[in-house]
Amino acid sequence: MSYLELSVLGAGNMGRALIGGLLRCGMRPEQIAVGESQEAARATLSRELGIAATTDNAAAIRKANLVVLAVKPQDAGTVLAPLAAELQQRRTVVLSVAAGVRIQALQSWCGASVPVIRAMPNRPALVGAGATGLFAPPQVDASHRAMAAQVMQSVGQVVWVATEEALDVVTALSGSGPAYFFLLAEAMTRAGVDLGLPEETARRLSIATLHGAGLLAQSGEGDLARLRAEVTSKGGTTEAALRTLQAGGFDDLIARAVETATRRGRELAAQFGGAGR
């Protein structure tokens, strides 16, 4: 891992996940400074990861060459604006994981000279299996992009998108996506129970299937159609089930769900003046 002096502003779930991932990847605790207002969160960070945190955000960013903004979207401006002079003086990279907060808003709080990058991780980052979309405006150079990718890769896979608007689609697809799979597993569990399985048995089978299918998809070089075909015997049970899903408009339903989530993300961003969830 290339050398980083990192500051994390916000030690909630995502902040702690990133810190834990970076420590697992070889970063040393003394390379990480944390700003966190809540005493309970500071205590959890110290107890679980051995990292000391401070309520003084200015002190937390003083030596950093990259600052991760991991606060609630509505708190982003309150946290960043008082740090603008320090960020501008050192041209510290700001990597925001605050959902929906636009580059324009971040730049207004940090200053135009500060390199700002947005990241949209998802909840599986908490277990090191995340998927993160990254966007940086053209003026952010390759070395700064590499630093941001390095941080987010500590908790899973990363992809770069070409426009900030594309991050709204990332939010709807992979950000909200775990809930779609959980909903499917819930429905499969209920179906198993309705057909006679004990609830615990149906739940365990659904969860194990969800997990195993994900592992197969990761090992299958991304060819989802081939993987589906390999488990679908002609005239068999899987083919019958898939035919029922397709007849019910499965593809269209998923497309409309992702489109609706994308639209709602944009509405929330506008509603909160650049900070939506």
Please determine, for residue 156, whether its predicted confidence score (pLDDT) is greater than 60: yes
Under DSSP, the state recorded for 229 is H
Beta strands in 161-203 (DSSP E): none
Predicted confidence at residue 268, as pLDDT, reads 80
Number of other residues whose CB lies within 10 A of the CB of residue 103: 18
Residue 62 has pLDDT above 90, yes or no: yes
The average confidence (pLDDT) of the chain is: 93
CB atoms near residue 261 (< 10 Å): 20
Report the alpha-carbon distance of residue 96 to residue 176 in Å, rounded: 18
Q: What is the pLDDT, as a whole number, of residue 2?
A: 55
Q: Is the pLDDT of residue 269 over 90?
A: no
Tokens describing residue 20: 């834990």
How confident is residue 277, by pLDDT bands cut at 50, 70 and 90?
very low
Say whether pTM exceeds 0.75.
Answer: yes
pLDDT tens digits, 198-252: 999 999 999 999 999 999 998 877 799 999 999 999 999 999 999 999 999 999 9
Relative orientation angle of helices 237-247 and 250-271, to the nearest 10 degrees: 50
Query: How many CA atoms lie less than 13 Å away from 112 in the CB half-sphere?
Result: 0
69 vs 55: CA distance, rounded Å? 15
Residue 273 pLDDT: 53
Q: What is the DSSP letter of 157?
A: E
Structure tokens at 170: 């990332």
pLDDT reported for residue 276: 41
- 265: pLDDT strictly greater than 90: no
- Residue 1 above 60 pLDDT? no
Nearest to 69 by CA among 171, 158, 169, 151: 151
Tell me how far CA of residue 191 lies from CA of 101, 203, 231, 271, in angstroms.
40, 10, 20, 39
Would strands 130-135 and 116-120 be described as parallel, antiparallel, or unpaired?
antiparallel
Q: What percentage of the chain reaches a pLDDT higher than 70?
A: 96
